[in-house]
Structure 1
Amino acid sequence: MKSKIFKIAIFAIAVFEFSCSNFLEISPPKDKLISETVFKTDEIAISAMTGVYRSMAVNGYASGDFSSINSVCGAAADELIGYEPIISEFYENQISPSNAYIGSGLYATPFKTIYTTNAILEGLTSINGVTPPVKTQLMGEAYFVRAFVYFYLVNLYGNVPIQLTTDYRITQNAQRKPVEAVYQQILTDLKTAEGLLTDSYVTTERIRPNKSAVQALLARVYLYLKDWENAEKYASLVIEKTGTYSLVDLDAIFLKNSNEAIWQLMPAANTNSKDGNLFILTTVPFYVSLKDAFVNNAFDPNDKRKLAWVRNFTNSTGTYYYPFKYKIRSSTTVTEYSMVLRLAEQYLIRAEARINQEKIEIGIQDLNALRTRARLSTAYSTTSPLSLLSLTLSKTEALSALERERRVELFSEWGHRWLDLKRTNKANEILSLLKPKWQNTDILFPIPTLELTTNSAIKQNEGY
């Protein structure tokens, strides 16, 4: 029975994605088939939603693979060196609208996720066989995922269409909406999800979002909007759930179901996170490696994050550094899931929000919580441990320290460095000195060629 349910759910997800792909070419979705299969029972509806997570874990922007946000945004910023032609366009900030990653993994694939969540929401609100508690849970998850995907679309592309339906008659010529409107939709979806989800995880693992995941993303969104009060409020809501979340040893953070995990994606069967396979070097890099300047200059002396999270491959051609947050390059023994949201970011969000509200001392204390973890790692010992930040720093000094902490804590994760440079208006200042071809308009990625040719209402970003 379970096998049959799984096959039906996978078929339904395939219909979703096929319909979305054809939707870009203006073909109507197969709504009747979707409603008759996915929403017949609780089990099939649940499988449809978990199918969204499976798709995210293996395809494009969320996968930790070549076209993922982790790699392309790391190259676009000042973390990674890109070698292969497609990724080198990001590294040089000379991205073509026909770049394969732009056209599929970073634009079309996120919109496929949005299409699928819209289909799930429409199916759940119609007459169906799904029980009320399951319907509430799945709707909360769908609203959350839609908001999560839109957060990255608006930050990578700026103005984007807001698609809240599967009706191709409405969406086929949808215009780009202002950034402010997209953020408002993100907040609306997250507030709805917060009211639907509970603090409990519905499985024994942390692979389906709960209320804490919603609150963690709300904290980040409010931070980006410079709503310091709400950013502090929502980060605190997560941090204070000490019975569920805690900072763990540096080498244990990215293990599946670690206490630091707020939301993770489960990799494909019998595999670990793709990030390990992407980043860990066993030969001269052909795709990406860490920039020497980052490795040598970003970390304070005796910061255990450098010791725990950076490795190198050396041969006659030189030394090449790589991220080592994920320790498994390839193994059928599954120990690592892809980390999406984790507790350390909430400390960084709250620190920034507090410092900007002139609560400088307690903001620094949040930063020191992470530095304490980085200096007391049980895997290493030193006679000169990483120093804690002085609680008497000025606001300017504290914000500078915060920037450094975000850089070394979150490198190679979900494009944080690229997005931080953009939102703090430092991209031009920093990247123009490092990248000869840098232009101010490079802070946004180009709209893909296919989207421009299939939707006449869409206009290209400036500079492309």
Structure 2
Amino acid sequence: MIMKTIYNKLLLFIVIVTSVHSSCKSFLDIDPPKDSATPNEMFANDATATSAITGIYNRMGLSGAFSGNQNSISVLCGLSADELRSYSSSLDVFYKNDLPTTNTTIETRLWQEPYAYIYTANAVLDGLKSAQGVSAKTKSQLEGEAKFVRAFCYFYLVNLFGDVPLILITDYSINQQAGRSSKEDIYTQIISDLIDAENLLPSSYITTERVRPNKWTATALLSRTYLYTQKWGLAAQKAGEVIDQRTIYNIVDNLDQVFLKNSNETIWQLMPTAGSNTKEGALFILTTAPTNVALSPDFVTAFETGDNRKTKWISQFSNSTGTYSYPFKYKIRTTVNGIISEYSMVLRLAEMYLIRAEALANLQQADLALADINLIRKRAGLIIPLANLTSAQCLTEIEKQRRFELFSEWGHRWLDLKRTNRASAILEPIKSSSWNDTDVLYPIPENERARNQNIGQNLGY
């Protein structure tokens, strides 16, 4: 599991940040801690203790699974589903759903990286227990954020791999021998951590940016978790609690402004690092024929006539080799004059309406579900409201709206197809002979199984 050497490396990656400023200042602009930093030094005062958490967000934005680059969840899961098409030999295995157990991206990005963040969160929770120099207010904030981070990482681990080791301590000698915990136990822990985070975090953001979670960030992820575990009443309730915070969150009518930093639709964003705009913009926006990914032509043609998300959130590049469509939610590919205007969106309000709609439809409250569906459709430019739909018809429409609203964001389409047992029906005709029912889970990395023989492999690998 997470070995002692990985823990030592984690300490070196933590970036000292005394606050997250309203300017575009990157976490990287602050000098990192010295190699000799000890846990006692890290929790000596509010500023150094805070750096352990803000360092996680910084590392998330740099590269890998949470960054928006080619090895991110958004890209890899988009390829596994029916959103993106691969133009890279290293990404072909995700598009073809033909992943070997030795795939290094699976091992380093989708497995080791989330566990590294979990380990750091566990270390923060342990350090706060005996921290004498940290104020009570900061302790509450950091404990809430650490539990949120842990829940966030486990949410993706359990959805990508199924049963995974549940690591809640920092004793590497125990962790490296941990077996896989059931999906149900993982979700129980996620829910417990998010309820704690709700109670520990303030309703307002601790900075003028929306880059550190508040109470409603935890509530939003809790709502999604309840949806995934089919706790419909709780999913609708929690989504509604976020929607009701109208002094903080509102649907942004202008589709070009949804993904701006600190937009009113933002529940949580990651601040770009190293003086750049988003990794998503740098990767997706094409100025040449694609070398990584582009949108699937079938996806582009599936939009309803009049849907402004097609015209506002998709653009094209053409040359002698063809015409390629790409996600254009983020408008900036290369930063000019150091101006940072877009942050990477992680959680946003539109998802809360779609969660509540789906939960209400499953509770046979079609009229209420339809009101939320029509709100999302109206923002997209589909101004004629739907009416008189059954609950089953609402669910069909919600699947469609989630597909067109959340594409290229955090693997929503891939996870939706799996949790609704629709993956084989949708993907087998597209992926043909390369698709197997067992492809809904990624393989456990072979190197991890070699280090820890208590971890079994997923079916089909």
Which secondary structure state, in structure 1, belongs to the residue aligned with residue 91 of structure 2?
A: helix
Residues 307 and 380, structure 2, Cα contact 8 Å, conserved in 1: yes
Q: Does 1:285 align with 2:290?
A: yes
Corresponding position of 1:21: none
For 1:4-15, list aligned pairs within 5 A: 13-14=11-12
Amino acid aligned to 2:346: V
Mapped partners of 2:362, 2:275: distance in 1: 45
TM-score when scaled to structure 2? 0.91
Deviation at 1:435, TM superposition (A): 0.4
Which secondary structure state, in structure 1, belongs to the residue aligned with residue 235 of structure 2?
A: helix
Q: Does 1:459 align with 2:428?
A: no
Amino acid aligned to 2:39: S
Mapped partners of 1:387, 1:205: distance in 2: 33
Corresponding position of 1:343: 349
Mapped partners of 2:361, 2:368: distance in 1: 8
Mapped partners of 1:333, 1:169: distance in 2: 46
Q: Does 1:364 align with 2:370?
A: yes
Structure 1 residue runs of 5 or longer lacking an equivalent are 1-9, 18-31, 376-385
Corresponding position of 2:331: 327
Q: Does 1:310 align with 2:310?
A: no
Which secondary structure state, in structure 1, belongs to the residue aligned with residue 90 of structure 2?
A: helix
Mapped partners of 1:140, 1:422: distance in 2: 30
Mapped partners of 1:173, 1:399: distance in 2: 42
Corresponding position of 2:436: 439
Residues 16 and 115, structure 1, Cα contact 8 Å, conserved in 2: no
Deviations 1:161-190 (A, max 9, x none): 000011012201000011000000101111
Which secondary structure state, in structure 2, belongs to the residue aligned with residue 160 of structure 1?
A: coil
Corresponding position of 2:255: 250
Indicate the larger mover: 413-422 or 428-437.
428-437
For 1:158-177, list aligned pairs within 5 A: 158-177=162-181
Deviation at 1:391, TM superposition (A): 2.5
Mapped partners of 1:119, 1:268: distance in 2: 24
Amino acid aligned to 2:287: T
For 1:141-220, list aligned pairs within 5 A: 141-220=145-224
For 1:49-448, list aligned pairs within 5 A: 49-248=53-252, 249-297=254-302, 299-331=303-335, 332-375=338-381, 386-436=382-432, 437-448=434-445
Which secondary structure state, in structure 2, belongs to the residue aligned with residue 62 of structure 1?
A: coil
Residues 39 and 129, structure 1, Cα contact 8 Å, conserved in 2: yes
Deviation at 1:43, TM superposition (A): 0.8
Residues 360 and 366, structure 2, Cα contact 8 Å, conserved in 1: yes
Residues 97 and 446, structure 1, Cα contact 8 Å, conserved in 2: yes
Deviation at 1:348, TM superposition (A): 0.2
For the structure 1 residues 257 and 16, does the alpha-carbon distance in structure 2 shift closer, same or farther, using more than 3 Å as the test?
A: closer
Deviation at 1:359, TM superposition (A): 1.1
Mapped partners of 1:246, 1:115: distance in 2: 35
Mapped partners of 1:301, 1:76: distance in 2: 27
Residues 13 and 52, structure 1, Cα contact 8 Å, conserved in 2: no
For the structure 1 residues 15 and 335, does the alpha-carbon distance in structure 2 shift closer, same or farther, using more than 3 Å as the test?
A: closer
Structure 2 residue runs of 5 or longer lacking an equivalent are 1-7, 16-35
Mapped partners of 1:34, 1:244: distance in 2: 39
For the structure 1 residues 257 and 15, does the alpha-carbon distance in structure 2 shift closer, same or farther, using more than 3 Å as the test?
A: closer
Mapped partners of 2:75, 2:205: distance in 1: 29
For the structure 1 residues 13 and 251, does the alpha-carbon distance in structure 2 shift closer, same or farther, using more than 3 Å as the test?
A: farther
Mapped partners of 2:297, 2:114: distance in 1: 32
Deviations 1:361-413 (A, max 9, x none): 111110111111111xxxxxxxxxx2434221112211111111000000000
Residues 14 and 51, structure 2, Cα contact 8 Å, conserved in 1: no
For the structure 1 residues 11 and 44, does the alpha-carbon distance in structure 2 shift closer, same or farther, using more than 3 Å as the test?
A: farther
Mapped partners of 1:178, 1:280: distance in 2: 39
- CA-based RMSD of the aligned residues comes to 1.6
Deviation at 1:47, TM superposition (A): 1.6
Deviations 1:222-248 (A, max 9, x none): 000111100000000000000000011
Mapped partners of 1:13, 1:226: distance in 2: 38
Deviations 1:35-89 (A, max 9, x none): 2221011011112211110011113110001110000000000000012122110
Amino acid aligned to 1:395: S
Deviations 1:250-309 (A, max 9, x none): 111110000000000001031111000111111111110000000001x11010111100
Identical aligned pairs, as a percentage?
Answer: 50
Deviation at 1:127, TM superposition (A): 3.6
How many positions carry a matched residue from both structures? 431
Mapped partners of 1:92, 1:372: distance in 2: 35
Amino acid aligned to 1:463: G
